[in-house]
Structure 1
Amino acid sequence: MHMPLQPKPIQLSPADLEKLRALRRTKAIATAALVFCIVTFLLARYFESTWPWLAFVAAFAGAAAIGGIADWYAVVALFRHPLGIPIPHTAIIPNNQARIADNLGRFIEGNFLAPGPVREKLRQVDFAQMVADWLADADRSAGLSRFTTKLMPQMLAAMEKSDLRGFVTDRIIEQVGKVKIAPLAADLLSAFTEDRRHQQLFDEFMKVLGRFLRDEEALAAVREKIRDELPSLFRVFKADAYLLRKIVNSASTLMDEVRADPDHALRREFDEFVEGFVAKLRTSPAYAARVERLKQDFLLRPELREMGGEMIKSLSSFIESDIRAPRSTIREQLTNMFVEVGRNLARDAKVRADMNQGFVIALAAFVESQKSGVSTFIADQVKRWDLGQLTRLIEINIGRDLQYIRFNGMVIGGMAGILLYVLEQLVFRN
């Protein structure tokens, strides 16, 4: 069951009060002019026998009074019943408040909220420039960054509840699984081998081998291996020590030669090995399949899934800790980012034009979807206005002009009265 709408009082502004005072003055003048016409008519008729020319004055004044009274009736009938008498088709505005309200709402909907005028008006506004100016202000951007970081704990809590960690980890693993590792590895190795930079790796291997040859424990282990392989007679003559010394000396000599000669045969062999390996990675189906199996085995490891969850957990902990700090790095970076976005947006006319077009489309669509509601809202508001105050408000704004109709009615009526009197004299005197 709908409750009846309560009348809504209308507050008069200082400007409306000044218009009301001006209306009252005009009404008083118009009424005084009407009374003057009536008095003039009566006096002219009274003295007409003494001064015949007063017949013209009487004709003018009488007709002017009639015109003034008729126009007074017409003006008053718009707002109230003349003299309080409920004459049909008077008090037009109060009696048609609901119809006026509905028609006003439809008029605004059809004319002011039509798609064409709305879009045209929206195109006159540079929304993107407003956004750019707003963001370029450091204080405003700082406020926006504070607001954004205040929402982060809620966002992180929502992530926890929605199992976003598992979702992100699954998506990362899924996307990595789609990457062909063999060609990627080939490209990386090709970039690494440019200008023979892979020879640095070869030099590091030589250093490791040199340290091995100088390691007494390692040499002792090698000597034991040699001893185990030699016949017993050779062990008596300590051939194992002789062989080890020969191996170490030969290896050391070879390594010295390799380190001293950038174009040594071993280095060329290493170049050919690396180039061949890169070529096989790039073209060999067998190598590609082997690399893919290794990748899939790696992606199926439970440690990887746990590592993804721990990474997201660590990121969440860092964000929570940072935004609580008095000088938050995230807030500072967000502020700088917003300011920079504003400055770049102010400089890029094309991006602003695209943004403005988007604003026009979005806002025009919103207005189009809501305009019927606006029409209903306006109609309901007008229907809720107090009848007396509504009439008063309309009269305040247009009543003064209507009072001039009374003046015009008296002037036109008076001229018509003289004209009719002249015609009367011309027709009936002859």
Structure 2
Amino acid sequence: MRKENQANLALAVSVLGVIGTAGQGTSLFAATLHHGFLAATIGGLADWFAVKAIFGRPLGISHRTDILRRNRGRIMESLVRFSSDDLLSKKNIMDVVEREKIGELLVEYLQHRGGRERLIEAAVDILRHVASDVDSRHISKELAPYVIQAFHALPLEESFAELLDVLTEEPHADRIFNILIRMGLQLIQTQVFQDMLRENIASIRTEYEGDGMVRAFVLSFFDDEMIAAWLTARLEEILRSAMVTDDRRHREGVQALVSFVVSLRSDPSLYEALHRYKVHVIEHIDVESILFDFIEHRMKGNHPFWVPYVKELLNEKIDLFVHSESWQNRADRWMKDLAAEEVEKHHGMIASFIREYLNQKSDDELISFVEGKVHTDLQMIRVNGAIVGAFVGMALSLVVTFAERMWGL
């Protein structure tokens, strides 16, 4: 049952009780009960009138009634001051903030409330939005001169020299030499090499025979195919033996390779050629277009290259925060200090907001708003008024009755 219905029922019972107990004799019980109902009726009616006088004009009486409407300005300012200076004062707000362990709350949110995923996705979305607003053409044009300057500053010649130094080290030189030997074994078996070998054999045979019949007679026992096959087999044998680490050919071959690399390392013409090639390549590279394509397709686009790296970085930082009490304390202190600064700076907005909110409401709307917030409590005042009035009325009736009898004695 609604509180208003309970209050109305209590008043109705009181009125009916007064009517029902009127003229029921002069017994102590009947008189006491009658005065209790009478006092309850008076108290209930008084409280009903008082409650109604706050929000309107009960029974059409205008004197000292309709309190909210007549005193709107004063009441509003009182509400504003109470809300901003007492209920939501700077001290009360910061007392609540200081009691909270914000660092632990952040850990709870990040670990068990889906905060990690939301934070990472929000950061990625923000960066995507920022990247989408980038003027690719302007940025590439601005960056191109610096990239070209960086290319010119690349120590390509020094890096190549360091690479040659590495190649002269024993394990690397052995591997490179063996790679060259395997390439040689594959090369001598190719059709191109065999054709070239036969051409050279035929040329040498022609030159060697000349006009000598004896030479021609001797060489007639060996055709070009036999000589090519023999030379191929001999080359394969030499190359395979050179792959054996302890073989003389292997040692001499590795040493020859090292000597060649060392001589190449000290050849200034090589570095000049490398420098010219670097300059030539840089001059013919359209750096601006490359940067524009990179920004459009790799920084923007549907799958920016930086997204996995950003997610990995954020996950690392979140893990560090979760497992670091000092970081949590720093975050807690930083957020509380920030809250204190913001409260100090913008506390006046509370009063302005409440005042503006109340000013937007008409008199009827404000009355309805206030009544809706305190309606239940006000109806309980009516109920309690009837109950208290009943007990007070009965108590006074008993006191008067006993006093009269004692006086009569």
Which residue of structure 1 aligns with residue 315 of structure 2?
Answer: 360
Which residue of structure 1 aligns with residue 23 of structure 2?
Answer: none
Question: 2:375 aligned with 1:416, yes or no?
Answer: no
Task: Give the paired residue count.
Answer: 326
Matches of 2:376 and 2:240, distance apart in 1: 107
Matches of 2:392 and 2:52, distance apart in 1: 19
Q: Deviations over 1:55-85 (max 9, x none)?
A: 133443477599999xx99997663279xxx
The residue correspondences of 1:112-261 to structure 2 (distance < 5 A) are 114-118=106-110, 120-124=114-118, 127=121, 147=139, 150-158=142-150, 160=152, 164-165=155-156, 168-178=159-169, 180-194=172-186, 197=189, 200-201=192-193, 203-211=195-203, 243=212, 246-247=214-215, 249=216, 253=220, 257-259=223-225, 261=226
TM-score computed with the length of structure 2 as normaliser: 0.57
Matches of 2:346 and 2:122, distance apart in 1: 39
Question: 2:303 aligned with 1:342, yes or no?
Answer: yes
CA-CA distance at 1:317 after TM superposition: 2.0
Matches of 1:397 and 1:112, distance apart in 2: 35
**CA separation of 1:282/1:66 partners in 2, compared to 1, >3 Å: closer, same or farther?**
farther
The answer as to whether partners of 1:186 and 1:278 remain within 8 angstroms in 2 is: yes
CA-CA distance at 1:172 after TM superposition: 3.8
- Structure 1, unmatched stretches of 5+, are 1-50, 83-89, 224-240, 346-350
Matches of 1:128 and 1:57, distance apart in 2: 60
Which residue of structure 1 aligns with residue 395 of structure 2?
Answer: 427
**CA separation of 1:65/1:151 partners in 2, compared to 1, >3 Å: closer, same or farther?**
same
Secondary structure, counterpart of 2:303 in structure 1? helix
Which residue of structure 2 aligns with residue 226 of structure 1?
Answer: none
**CA separation of 1:303/1:196 partners in 2, compared to 1, >3 Å: closer, same or farther?**
closer
CA-CA distance at 1:393 after TM superposition: 1.8
- Structure 2, unmatched stretches of 5+, are 1-36, 56-66, 322-326, 360-365, 399-409
Q: Deviations over 1:119-164 (max 9, x none)?
A: 5313246749968xx69xxx9699658745752421332454x664
The answer as to whether partners of 1:79 and 1:92 remain within 8 angstroms in 2 is: no
Secondary structure, counterpart of 1:429 in structure 2? helix
Which residue of structure 1 aligns with residue 340 of structure 2?
Answer: 379
**Aligned residues: CA RMSD:** 5.5
CA-CA distance at 1:360 after TM superposition: 3.2
The answer as to whether partners of 2:51 and 2:378 remain within 8 angstroms in 1 is: yes
Matches of 1:177 and 1:106, distance apart in 2: 68
The answer as to whether partners of 2:188 and 2:194 remain within 8 angstroms in 1 is: no
Question: 2:352 aligned with 1:392, yes or no?
Answer: yes
**CA separation of 1:75/1:115 partners in 2, compared to 1, >3 Å: closer, same or farther?**
farther
Which residue of structure 2 aligns with residue 20 of structure 1?
Answer: none
CA-CA distance at 1:295 after TM superposition: 2.0
The residue correspondences of 1:258-337 to structure 2 (distance < 5 A) are 258-259=224-225, 261=226, 264-279=229-244, 284-319=250-285, 322-323=286-287, 328=289, 331-332=292-293
The answer as to whether partners of 2:80 and 2:355 remain within 8 angstroms in 1 is: yes
Which residue of structure 1 aligns with residue 47 of structure 2?
Answer: 60
Matches of 1:391 and 1:141, distance apart in 2: 39
**CA separation of 1:285/1:169 partners in 2, compared to 1, >3 Å: closer, same or farther?**
closer
The answer as to whether partners of 2:177 and 2:257 remain within 8 angstroms in 1 is: no
TM-score computed with the length of structure 1 as normaliser: 0.54
Which residue of structure 1 aligns with residue 86 of structure 2?
Answer: 92
